[in-house]
Structure 1
Amino acid sequence: MIPLPHADQSSGAPHSGGEPGGPLRLDIVAGLTAAAVVLPKAMAYATVAGLPVSVGLYTAFVPMIVYALLGSSRVLSVSSTTTLAILTASELALVVPDGDPVRLLTATATLTALTGLLLIAAAALRLGFVANFISSPVLTGFKAGIGLVIVLDQLPKLFGLHIEKQGFFRDVLTLFQHLPETSIITFAIGATALVLLLLLERIWPHSPAPLAIVGAGIALSWLAGLGAAGVSIVGHIPQALPSLTLPDVDMILRLLPGACGIALMSFTETIAAGRAFSVAGEPAIRPNRELVATGLANFSGGFFGAMPAGGGTSQTAVVRAVGGHSQKASLVTAAASAATMLVLAPLLGLLPQAVLAAIVIVYSVGLIDPVEFKSIRRVRRMEFRWALAAFLGVLFFGTLQGIIIAIILSLVGLASQTAKPRIHIVGRKRGGDVLRPVSAEHPDDETFEGLLILRPEGRLFFVNAQQVGDRIRELVNQEKPRVVMLDLSRVVDIEYSALQMIIEGERSLARQGIVLWLAGLNPDVFDYVRASGFAEQLGMDRMLLNTRVGIRRHQEGTSAEPQPVAEGGSA
């Protein structure tokens, strides 16, 4: 679940605190506090992707600066995330299977720059709406699967083991087989870090706990000589700012499919986090501007050794919680990253890998939300099945394939909803003037002998035209009315195929001696009906202003002139 800011932090107005430059002071504090959370996690996520920890620091530097200058969110913090890290790992493993360090860094630069170019291209094509193609339940299942994959990926480091990755379920079996080889000292360090992090996060959410754990791990490593004792440590980190890394054009075609998935997830996470922490009084989050900002952030970062980046919820929550007001907070965080690279790199090299693994596990478990699954199941079982399918898709087929499964499930869900529009038989509340669908909840509602009122809902087009026609025929054969009144007040659009279905249906009804009336057409639908010539064929006496007019006419049993639909629209 995405954490929301407390009520007392919701005001978009600057807090001066009675001091000159109050908002700037708050941004500096927010940026430094966020750095204490972001930098340890960024290093940990780099290890998830199979990259040196320095790549995590680069990702919390260049992309964060570029987004701060261009993004539409005032407080969104952009760096690496758990989801993007594991997707990056999957893609890099495909193009650099031998793990060659030089080619790995080149592939990372290519993947990140390509991700940025795809986001910029999406902005040029105004594709900001694409982020909505993954439904919330499917995204819940996808992220839960990602969370489990990341946890399993880090567990061997926690036990001081090394296993060959062969897929989620095989890796689980391999891990159990190698447990007797566990390094006791490595496990003791990792488990201690894990427990402390869990306790601190529970007592003090979004605290600088990761920084404290990293500091303790470095101190212990230095004092006890853990590296010499066989405990795996981070090792050498270049004590410098990132150097220029050129992408490899020859890798583009192989990386393109994965970059598409990473770009989609980067944008989806950025939009979700940006909207979650937007408050009253601040400018609205603009999807296409976010595409440009995250696109240029990734494109620029690719040339300076960064891995793919996106908006992070945890660090943004920290910025908002401690009173950050603007992207100056992100610039402060980026400055802290630069200072870390220039000054603290030798110390970071002493950090045990098990401590980084503990950080990754703690912040990846949050992706697995059983309560959300339960909530989805309680509301809609069909969408719960989509969430479950996306979850299992990641475990069985891999993370990148899981994105494809998630998108397909969302599109299938959308298509199934639009392909099966509801068609209600409408009745009237007895003793009142309320029209509503006939249902078992309202058994006393009255219908009208000889009159069948049908109300389709949504958009009528080629996908659902045949099904709508079949359902209307089924209801007509069941009710055997003299008049069918088609209430189109809930139809927002009607396509040529659906209009032809209604025209053919009118002819079929006429052959059975049944009259068709149309009621409640909105202006656009009325224009389409008139342009087709169907309005003239029906005559204005069969195109009614609304359903109530049709009911009165039927009850009066007269051919008196009804109130026709207004020219160009309806009531």
Structure 2
Amino acid sequence: MGHVASRLRIPVLDWMHGYRKDWIKPDLVAGVTAAAVVLPKALAYASVAGLPVEVGLYTAFVPMVIYALFGTSRPLSVSTSATLAILTAAALAQAVPGGETAALMRATATLTLLVGGMLALAALLRLGFVANFISDPVLTGFKAGIAVVIVLDQLPKLFGIHPEKGSFFHNVAALAMGIPHASWWTVAVGAATIAILVAFEHFYPRAPAPLIAVACGIGAVVLLGLPAHGVGVVGHIPTGLPSVVMPDFSLIGSLWKDAAGIALMSFTETVAAGRAFVGNGEPMPKPNRELFATGLGNAAGAWLGAMPAGGGTSQTAVNRLAGARSQLAQLVTAAVTLGTMLLLAPLIGLMPHATLAAVVIVYSIGLFSPADFRAILRIRRTEFLWALVALAGVVLLGTLQGILVAIVVSLVALAHQVADPPVYVLRRKPGTHVFRPVSDEHPDDEAFPGLLVLRVEGRVFFANAEHIGQKLRPLIDAAQPKVLILEMSAVFDLEYTALKMLIEAEKKQRERGIAIWLVHLNPSVLAAVQLSSLGATLGQGRMFFNLEEALAAWQALHAPDTANGAANSASKKL
């Protein structure tokens, strides 16, 4: 146990032991600056989740402190995010359909504790590699879908209407029908907030735009008496430290599936944000340590009313750009959050709902990146389709189902790529020993009558061996070669079923008068071939180190009188 504890304390000891005095000022500045972004967004995301806004403060406090002690990323800022908020909202809507506040808080504590427990368990089982199972195009589609869901969820608050929620198409129709009944004072507040956020992001990107927008919203309430004009405000927020909230363990059966999805997205976002902002000379975040740190942060926060938490990309970017050098910046952000809970809660209660909705919308739209979709489409059309499928899964099926769709799509995409490895016909670049795939760009590349050179790439195993055979057969039938060379430098594994099929293929082609030669076998593939009957059949005469030697042997066979010397010099075979 002592050894395990020591390992878990290493992140704290690392940054404290190596701390430099000249880091203190930039860490203090970065911590305060990040707080100006973290706090308004945390309040807004608590609102997205259907929870009292003070839950956002609790979430920006406890998990932030725990991560600073146990996390491995120096600039990572941990609270909650738009993705986690909408996933939490979906989970709580099913667990507490009535929406009673006390029941919601107990359900939130249960959900957050489950998320923390799952993350910590995954750390113990060393499942950090799971983050790699969602491909970047699929994650792009998933986040875009989340953006659509969040914006549609917040637009009614921006118009001051309260339509009944349902499916995606129901919500779109309800919003359209409700717009004629909008509160135009509320619309004005929301529009002004959006204008402030966009203007500062464009002209003064280093300014704490969310804090300025929230301050303006609160100032407008005080100066213009907006509630009298139908503009809703947050209302009473309790001052002081969060109270202990007991989880409702009877809800575990209904919440565990949602918790698993939230845990996966929390970890994925945390690792992505941590990797994105690693500075020169800083260690890369360690996935299993990140699992433990975020798991412990969620588990601790659950008892104090926090919602599920994880690393946030935008707030981490602010933290890094403001000069953060170590996890001390996160502790400073947490201290500012604590001061807000103790002193500024009544002021936050004056914040208009439209201001919160505008903050959420502006920062959630950033999750939808057309440029990312265009980049994927330009490079790989198939993966662009996977991104669209993930987007549609979130929008049409729901957020948790969208996660499952994203994972399934990623695995299907991986399986498709593995099951369909490329096969290339190779020809020689004139005047060189370089062989390259046939291309319209290189029409003068040399072919050799009676010789067909094919390259197979990737792992060859039971799931794709037959498909590779289907690709090879028409190429062989069209060329009618005397010798078929399989260049296998890119084949890093040859599984037993595939090897057996290769043995049978060699026999069939030999009966047709076509000899198969193998070239550039990797050590593991060579060992497998030599241990099989194929090794004895081919012998050293039909296995070569490289294509240059194989071609020399081919030329020796067809010009024995003039190529004996070349054949002798190229006789070094496997």
Instruction: State TM-score, norm by structure 2.
Output: 0.92
Q: In structure 2, the residue corresponding to 1:454 is in which secondary structure?
A: strand
Q: CA deviation at 1:564?
A: 5.2
Name the structure 1 match of 2:393. Answer: 393
| Partner secondary structure for residue 425 of structure 2 | strand
Does the 8 Å CA contact 2:133/2:411 hold for their aligned counterparts? yes
Is the contact made by 2:95 and 2:254 (CA closer than 8 Å) also made in structure 1?
yes
2:95 maps to 95
**What are the residue-to-residue correspondences of 1:24-423 with 2, within 5 Å?**
24-227=24-227, 229-423=229-423
Matched-pair contact (CA < 8 Å) for 1:63–1:79: yes
Give the CA deviation at 1:184: 2.2
1:496-540 CA distance string (max 9 Å, x none): 111111111111112112211111011111122223343233212
| Offset from partner CA, 1:135-158 (integer Å, 9 cap, x none) | 212211211111111111111111
Residue aligned with 2:386, SS: helix
Deviations 1:303-350 (A, max 9, x none): 221111111111111111121100000000011111111111111111
User: CA shift at 1:223, angstroms?
Assistant: 3.7
**Is 2:471 the counterpart of 1:464?**
no
Unmatched 5+ stretches in structure 1: 1-13, 15-19, 567-571
Deviation at 1:477, TM superposition (A): 1.5
In the alignment, the residues of structure 1 paired with residue 573 and residue 287 of structure 2 have an alpha-carbon distance, to the nearest angstrom, of 39
Unaligned ranges ≥5, structure 2: 1-14
Decide whether the 8 Å contact of 1:118 with 1:260 is kept in 2.
yes
Match of 1:9 in 2: none
Runs of 4+ in 1 over 6 A off after TM superposition: none
Amino acid at match of 1:282: E
Provide Cα deviations, 1:257-281, integer angstroms capped at 9, x if missing partner. Answer: 2112111111111111111110211
CA distance in 2, matches of 1:439, 1:501: 29
User: AA paired with 2:392?
Assistant: L
Question: Does the CA-based 8 Å contact 2:541-2:573 persist in structure 1?
Answer: no
Query: In the TM superposition, what are the counterparts of 1:441-452 in structure 2 within 5 Å?
Result: 441-452=441-452
In the TM superposition, what is the alpha-carbon distance from 1:178 to its structure 2 partner?
Answer: 1.4
Q: Residue 518 of structure 1 aligns with which residue? A: 518
1:417 corresponds to which letter in structure 2?
Q
Partner Cα distance (2:308, 2:277) in 1: 22
Q: Distance in 2 between matches of 1:304 and 1:499?
A: 59
Q: Between the two proteins, what is the percent identity of the paired residues?
A: 56
Judge which range, 164-173 or 178-187, deviates more: 178-187
SS of residue matched to 1:333: helix
Higher alpha-carbon deviation: 32-41 or 241-250: 241-250
Check whether the contact 1:119–1:295 (CA below 8 A) recurs between aligned residues.
Answer: yes
For residues 469-520 of structure 1, the C-alpha deviation after alignment (integer angstroms, 9 at most, x for no partner) is 2222222222111111111111111111111111111111121122111110
Quote the Cα distance in structure 1 between the aligned partners of 2:228 and 2:431: 88
Q: Distance in 1 between matches of 2:383 and 2:287?
A: 26
Structure 2: which amino acid aligns with 1:48? V
Q: Distance between the aligned counterparts of 1:191 and 1:182, measured in 2?
A: 13
Code of the aligned partner of 2:456: P
Which structure shows the bigger proportion of residues in helix conformation?
2
Equivalent residues of 1:119, 1:291 under 8 A apart: yes
In the TM superposition, what are the counterparts of 1:426-437 in structure 2 within 5 Å? 426-437=426-437
CA contact (8 A) 1:200 1:209 kept: yes
Q: Which moved more, 1:47-56 or 1:99-108?
A: 99-108
Residue 550, structure 1, aligned to residue 550, structure 2: yes
> How big is the alpha-carbon RMSD for the aligned residues of Structure 1 and Structure 2?
1.7
Task: Output aligned runs, 1:432-511, within 5 Å.
Answer: 432-511=432-511
Q: Is the 8 A contact 1:37 1:207 kept in 2?
A: no
- Cα 1:206/1:500, change in 2 over 3 Å: farther
Q: Is contact 1:521–1:565 with CA below 8 Å preserved after alignment?
A: no
**Greater mean deviation of Cα atoms: 218-227 or 146-155:** 218-227
Equivalent residues, number: 548
Task: Give the residue type in structure 1 aligned to 2:285.
Answer: I
Q: Which residue number in structure 2 is paired with residue 10 of structure 1?
A: none
Distance 1:226 1:438 in 2: 71
Deviates more, 1:28-37 or 1:467-476: 467-476
State how far apart, in whole Å, the 2-side matches of 1:66 and 1:59 are: 11
1:248: Cα distance to partner? 2.2
